[in-house]
Structure 1
Amino acid sequence: MVKQKCICTILLISIVINLLPNKYYIVLADGASGNTQNNTTYQLIEYKWKRVHTKNGICLGLLDDNSLWQWCTSIDNSMVIKNTSPVKILENVIDVSVGYTGNILALTNDKKLWSWCLNSHAESKSCICSESSIPECIMDDVTNISAGNHTCLAVKSGGSLWGWGDNEFGQLGDGTTDSKITPIKIMDGVKYAISEDNFSLAIKNDNSLWSWGYNADGQLGNKSFDISTKPVNIMEDVIKVAATKYSSCFALKSDNTLWSWGNNKDGQLGDGQKSASRNSPQKILDNVLDVIPASYSTYAIGTDKTLYSWGSNILGRLGDGTTYDRSLPIKVMDSVAKISVSDSHIIALDETSSLWGWGSNNCSQVATTGEYVTAPSILAQNVIDLSTDNKTSSYITTDGKLFQLGQINGTNISIPKGIDVQAFIKSTNILNNYLEVHFSGTQLSSVKDSDFFISSITNGTEISSVTFSVYSFNPNTNTATLLLPEVKPAEWEKTVSYQVSYNNNMPVKTNDIIIKPIIPSTNTSLPTPTATSTSSVVIIPPVSPALSTPTASQTATPNLEGQSTSIPTKAVPGSEPDNSSSDKDNTYDEKINIFKKEILEIAEKFEGVDDPFNEKGDLITKKAEETIEEITSQKVAAANNLLEINESLILPKSIQALKAKQDIGKFLDEQDVRANRKIRATINIDVTLPQKTLDIYVINDIIPIMKKEIDIKVSTNVGNIVLFNESIEDQLSKDLIININDRGIQSDPKIKSNLLALLFKYKNGTTKNQLNHNIGIQLPFGNGNPEFSTILNKSKEKITNLGGHQDLKGKTLLTNTKSSGDYYVVENKKTFKDIENINSEIKKAIEVLASKGVISGRNEYTFDPDAKINRSEFTSLIVKDLGFSDENATINFKDVYKTAWYYTSVAVACKKGLINGYEDNTFRGGNVINKQEIVKICTASLVSVKGFHFLKDEEKYLTFKDRNKIPEWAQKYIALGNKEGLIVKRSNGLFSGTLPCNRGDAAVIMYRLYLKL
């Protein structure tokens, strides 16, 4: 990224010195006197709600970062939590189940199951599933969860069903009535299970339905009223099962028929009867998509999205405009997408995202006035999720805002109340005995000691509370600094970290601090540590805004007898990363988390959307590479106009780059999203040109590091230089100096950048006009239009148009070069008279590529888009488009002579694997090129140049009506080309690969390729 401005008013120079074996490391810091300025801008991330769950006064909300938040709408003596505003309790959550009596299960994206209970009546069986009021991980490899009254069930990925909790009536299905506090295996082959009040139901992989436990109302459906302590098979071909705590049960079959059994005292089984119970399943309705039962009434959504209801109609809960009970299904409303039910009222979301409510209104939960509402009444618009509790209604709008109405903490609220994301700890950072706490969520104005709780963890196990005080708070950055006790030297090596929580939010663990023992002091003073600089580079670490100005008396660095406390005057890049501060770790985690959030947003944006150019893959790849570059970016100051790039400088950042690349790849695999090509890792060295000139001295000891597929970019405020890993070994056969010289702004208004002069030389002063391989040069395009701007190289009075790929974020053009000379950006849109009225995409492709010097017209005024193009012409164009050059490349096609104008282009393309000859060892350059040959060459360019991957699912992208005519050699290229949008589709659905291509067709395909490079 090109620097816009370099501001540095303070150098925080840190060095880690290993004094003696068995001694611990000391971090020395020095800050310039006076006020420090921090030009970093901070902006709170806007988090959005995406799901809400409510039951018996307990509220659980899921944010778009998959963090789970907990609060309550009614506080009584039975509840452990007293928070009326959300507190963060867990991360990476994908599913939640809440029991009637306060036991909660949550499933995270790594398939771990977490359990906790919010009922304080520990002597009862309310919390038999969990004795903890904070989440505890109790199982791994879980895919399905159900929290019942006092019994919990979980299905593992292999299909085994596990249960724990109360077993008074055999509801654990293990053949006993003994309760279990740890999970036991019940049966195999299960894909879904639910636990209700003293009985359980499960669907196996073969869609058979099984039941066990209490059976007084016939809820087991096995034509009996006897308890069963083991699972019994009651139905086949079941795809969903639902039940109530009062023993009414429902099953949905694959033919969309709905069946019911169990308690029927209010007609809730929908069979036309009001009987005490029925102990066998009976069909009650056809064409059902979903069933949602309440305790005394039932609701079903039909395949046509019609909502039906039946059962008790007290206070109008059936929504039919009356208060009469119904024992048969009646129609309520059309176009229903989702509903949530309670024993008092119902809310429904229709397909236009409108929210409707009816039933009891004693707490203003469905309307502003009236004791009850008997027909659907509009509540809100633009809603995406909803949940009911007996006295409240909750919903989330399309902009990610959460609202609640009804009885909230003893007050009836008829105007929806917004539920904000509260402040929470995003990250922490320890420097000596200062703990820096970075907040996200709500902007804070102040903090106090009582807001926090801190405990220390020694060697991973020993936990003790910590006395601390708030040292400072910076509202501009939403950052608090806490003063901890001094870190005292230990008698033996130990590891210390801290857990800090804020206002009952989940605790955040800091980085580990390794404390090493002190060697007993002797009469001989230790020598003063010195630092021998191996580079003319001073690393400028980021200055922490909250830690920039503590006085020396407040710094808690242990004082060792005999140790020099003089401060070195230069920072020497070490061979290992500096782990003395967690700044880097926190920055790393923050950037990775931001990347993850952005990737999830991209995936959501493209879900179910036609993506003919694989923009999703492009965005994912770009985000990954930008994140790695941001993580590895470091500011350096070049003393004496010299920047030495050596192993010491880049090794720490290379470790970060490889870790970031690995973590990013792992996350993409976990989310089942893919970059469309190999992700490049780039270390960015951000340097100022103090006197408009800089010698970049590249030492060949960096070769082993770069061969791990790491590029190096040197960024300045006038232009950037990129060293590519693929050619670095040959490029650095000798140490290389790249001199860049800013020659300032030119008077020609068409020139959009400063003129940047490049000179290549060796340490002995010998200059080199051309390098062995390309480097990248990146220049700002200023106020120019990047599509019609290009980079020119003037060398020995010869001007070469190098083109340039645009980076809109950095506002730069990037091209490759081997040559010394002057470089600058020019905007000069090129067009032709004979393309004024042709297809707009063809016209733009020709103009962009012509402006960048990739293609040219027949003359100044004519392009001739309908003319055929032969193999030699297209090969020359593609080599120019890709910026390839290799004067030493050779070929042995018997019909391509060294005197041919296209010889070098064909040789380079063949060497790069872009083209092939015929079986008789001819190239046939005069033959008109056809569509499948062009697609093959362009797709091979993606693979060769940018590391695109051939597809494993080729058939998915060979969708043309004439796909059987596509030759086998071309199929993998055409499949990848189709996915990446290189192929110009025909309205008849045919590929027609043997049809000849004209110059206009070739321009479009090359332009689409250009956008991918």
Structure 2
Amino acid sequence: MKKLLFFLIIIRTLSSEAQCFKSIAAGQYHSVAIKYDGSLWAWGYNFYGQLGDGSTINKNTPQQIGYDNNWESVAAGNSHTIAVKTDGTLWTWGDNSYGQLGNGTNSSSSVPVQIGTANNWKSVATGDFHTIAIKTDGTLWTCGWNAFGQLGDGTTTNKNVFGQIGPAVWQNASGGSAHTIAVRMDGPLWGWGRNDSGQLGNGTSIDSSIPIEIIYNFFDKVTCSGNHNLAIHNWGTLWVWGDNSYGQLGNGTTTNITVPTQISFSFLGAIDTADTHTIARTTNSTLWAWGLNNYGQLGIANTTSHTLPVQIGNWYVWNKVAAGADYSLATSSNGTIYSWGANTYGQLGNGTNIESYFPVALTCPITLSVEDFSDANKIIIFPNPVKNNLKIENISSVSIIDIYDIEGKLVKNFITKLNENINVSDLCAGIYLLKIMDEKGKVFSRRFIKE
């Protein structure tokens, strides 16, 4: 018995110290992430099946999507999701009203569906209702909504299959509400689509249904949303243009900019933008935000908007960033996801639908295998909500129980035997995560509400 308990404690310790998420993406109201083990997770708004879990029910905690462990990269649009696996195959799901899934239909899907048989896809991006994907050979492909020429194929007709745009010269791309900006392999920026706010960066307000060169310079990455863009130069400087109604460009004004303009904020390592706010990480791992802050999406513990970058806390631990509509996500150096801002649909993933004005850590979920899914479904906890004693059915004879609060802090842990009650009367009212580790080292989790 002592050897068994020692084994369980060692596994739990290693699990708690392991890295969690390697990448994150934020759509309008849904969030998607990939763990270091290659598993795919999603939460938030799910009316169109954009979470990919086979349902159209909103989720306020991370849900494992299938049991494949070979997901490589993911992007989230308004209400659809696109991802690439490590084998180079392309998968899409969610809303397909404009053909943005690229599967040859306009029918939505609540589960990931492979697009074609090609296995040389490299990266993916989305606009609100259009999709962009780049292959390893540098070709760029688009599909979906095209009313303003945002697909770049010379028309304004929607497409429900991917079509190649231009020659094989593209490094990365991003989509806004109805426009697309791409970086060529040699560094220049090109754009196409809607241009009413100067988002194409050519000094005019004329739309273009074909790619036009914006600026010949040496850029590494671009991010777009709504009607504006931000690009990182290979020197680490930040360039911005387009709509600036809420200060989302970070230049200290709310005036639109019609050509790429450098702002006095540099040493950028990662950046993402939503329609009205922007999140950025510097090369020294500090986190910054600017723009509209009506839901606390800037993460500075208040709702004051800012037209200049403001630092979030004083931590030097940040890695990836993602911006959704009125909410934000970021990962720390160990892959822990922090979320803040609006939470109407559970897009923060913290088990509630309550907004947060500052970053709150999510507990790293346990990845389940095919066998684990079957075993986990057998475990029942009741009553839920609970006042005093919580009962667990269908667990093994000896298990380690951990209880975490909504901020991911361990508040209780103990060893239990078969059919023993768990006394939670000393816990404050709220939502908790119960983790159960059996004698084989498998870990299962359940949420419960303490009254």
Q: TM-score range by the shorter chain?
A: 0.5 to 0.7
Distance 1:322 1:444 in 2: 40
Please report how far the alpha carbon of residue 108 of structure 1 lies from its aligned counterpart in structure 2 after TM superposition.
2.1
Higher-Rg structure is 1
Task: Name stretches of at least 5 consecutive residues in structure 1 with no aligned partner.
Answer: 1-45, 381-394, 403-419, 425-438, 447-474, 477-1013
Query: TM-score, normalised on structure 1?
Result: 0.31
Residue of structure 1 equivalent to 2:124: 145
Residues 917-936 of structure 1: pairs in structure 2 closer than 5 A: none
SS of equivalent to 2:38: coil
Q: 2:268 matched to which residue of 1?
A: 288
Aligned partner of 2:84: which letter? L
Closer, same or farther in 2 for the Cα pair 1:95/1:330, shift >3 Å?
closer
**Residue of structure 1 equivalent to 2:94:** 118
Q: CA deviation at 1:201?
A: 1.0
CA distance in 1, matches of 2:77, 2:327: 19
1:306 aligned to 286, 289, 293, which one? 286
What residue number does 2:180 align with? 200
Among 341, 364, 369, the residue aligned to 2:323: 341
- Structure 2 match to 1:93: 71
Q: Secondary structure of 2:172's match?
A: strand
Question: Retained in 1: the 8 A contact 2:44–2:345?
Answer: no
Does residue 443 (structure 1) correspond to residue 421 (structure 2)? The answer is no
Compared CA separation, residues 325 and 444, structure 1 to 2 (3 A): closer
Q: Is the 8 A contact 2:99 2:161 kept in 1?
A: no
In the aligned structure 1, how far is the partner of 2:158 from the partner of 2:196? 20
Aligned to 2:401: none
Structure 2 counterpart of 1:311, which letter? G
Q: CA deviation at 1:254?
A: 1.2
Quote the Cα distance in structure 2 between the aligned partners of 1:369 and 1:226.
44
Cα displacement string for residues 710-730 of structure 1 (whole angstroms, at most 9, x for unaligned residues): xxxxxxxxxxxxxxxxxxxxx
2:239 aligned with 1:259: yes
Q: By how many angstroms is 1:77 displaced?
A: 7.2
What is the SS of the residue equivalent to 2:223?
A: strand
Distance verdict in 2 for CA 1:325–1:100, change over 3 Å:
same
Aligned counterpart for 1:175 among listed residues 154, 157, 171: 154
Q: How does 1:31-430 map to 2 (within 5 A)?
A: 50-51=21-22, 53=25, 55=27, 58=30, 60=32, 62=34, 66-68=38-40, 73-74=44-45, 76=47, 81-82=55-56, 86-88=64-66, 92-102=70-80, 104-115=81-92, 117-119=93-95, 124-125=97-98, 127=100, 129-130=102-103, 131=105, 133=109, 134=111, 135-138=113-116, 139-187=118-166, 188-235=168-215, 236-244=217-225, 246-275=226-255, 277-284=256-263, 285-334=265-314, 335-338=316-319, 339-351=321-333, 358-360=340-342, 365=348, 374=357, 376=358, 379-380=360-361, 395=362, 401-402=364-365, 421=367, 424=370
Determine if contact 2:230/2:240 at 8 Å carries over to the other structure.
yes
2:5 matched residue in structure 1: none
Secondary structure of the equivalent of 1:272?
Answer: coil
Determine the C-alpha separation between the residues in 1 that align with 2:101 and 2:149: 15
How far residue 234 of structure 1 moved from its aligned partner, in angstroms, is: 1.3
Structure in which a larger fraction of residues adopt helix: 1
Paired residue secondary structure (1:250): strand
Looking at structure 1, the residues matched to 201 and 239 of structure 2 have their Cα atoms a distance apart, in angstroms, of 11
3-state SS of the aligned residue for 2:115? strand
DSSP-derived class of the 1:316 partner: coil
The alpha-carbon deviation at position 128 of structure 1 amounts to 5.8
Whole-Å Cα distance in 1 between the matches of residues 31 and 355 of structure 2?
24
SS at match of 1:201: strand
Structure 2: runs of 5 or more not aligned: 1-14, 379-394, 397-451
CA drift at 1:305: 2.6
RMSD: 3.7
For residue 359 of structure 1, report the CA deviation from its aligned partner: 3.7
Q: Which amino acid aligns with 1:443?
A: D
Q: 1:333 to 1:354 in 2, by over 3 A?
A: farther
| Residue number in structure 2 paired with 1:819 | none
Shift of residue 303 of structure 1? 2.6
Contact 2:25–2:322 (8 Å) recurs in 1 = no
Q: Which has the higher contact order (CA 8 A, sep 6+)?
A: 2
Residue correspondence of structure 1 range 534-545 to structure 2 within 5 A: none
What is the one-letter code of the residue matched to 1:144?
S
Residue type matched to 2:159 in 1? K
Q: Distance in 1 between matches of 2:74 and 2:181?
A: 18
- Offset at residue 372 of structure 1 (A): 5.8
Alignment CA distance shift 1:55-1:357 (3 Å): closer
**Secondary structure, aligned partner of 2:312:** strand
Decide whether the 8 Å contact of 1:301 with 1:336 is kept in 2. Answer: no
Q: CA deviation at 1:109?
A: 2.2
User: Aligned AA for 1:92?
Assistant: N
- Residues 863-1012 of structure 1: matches in 2 within 5 Å? none
Query: Normalized against structure 2, the TM-score is what?
Result: 0.65
Aligned residue identity for 2:375: Q
CA offsets per residue over residues 608-634 of structure 1, 9 Å max, x none? xxxxxxxxxxxxxxxxxxxxxxxxxxx
Quick check: 1:422–1:441 contact (8 Å CA) kept in 2?
A: yes
Alignment check: 8 A CA contact 1:153 1:161 kept: yes
How far is 1:111 from its partner?
1.8
Residues 595-610 of structure 1: matches in 2 within 5 Å? none
Query: d(CA) in 2 for partners of 1:258 and 1:48?
Result: 30
Shift in CA distance, 281/312, structure 1 to aligned 2, threshold 3 Å: same
**2:271/2:281 contact within 8 Å kept:** yes
Residue 64 of structure 1 and its aligned partner are, at CA, apart by: 5.5
Q: Name the CA distance, whole Å, in 1 between partners of 2:343 and 2:32.
A: 23
Q: CA deviation at 1:89?
A: 6.8
Amino acid at match of 1:110: D
Q: In the alignment, residue 86 of structure 2 is paired with which amino acid?
A: N
Q: Contact 2:99/2:159 (CA < 8 Å) preserved in 1?
A: no
Residue 97 to residue 215, structure 1, CA distance change in 2 (3 Å): same
Displacement of 1:196 in angstroms is 2.6
Give how far 1:264 is off: 0.5
Distance 1:273 1:445 in 2: 53
Identity %: 25
Structure 2 SS opposite 1:106: strand
C-alpha distance in structure 2 between counterparts of 1:343 and 1:49, whole Å: 24
Alpha-carbon distance in 2 for matches of 1:304, 1:241: 20
Offset from partner CA, 1:693-749 (integer Å, 9 cap, x none): xxxxxxxxxxxxxxxxxxxxxxxxxxxxxxxxxxxxxxxxxxxxxxxxxxxxxxxxx
Tell me if the contact between 1:217 and 1:225 (Cα under 8 Å) persists in the aligned partners. Answer: yes
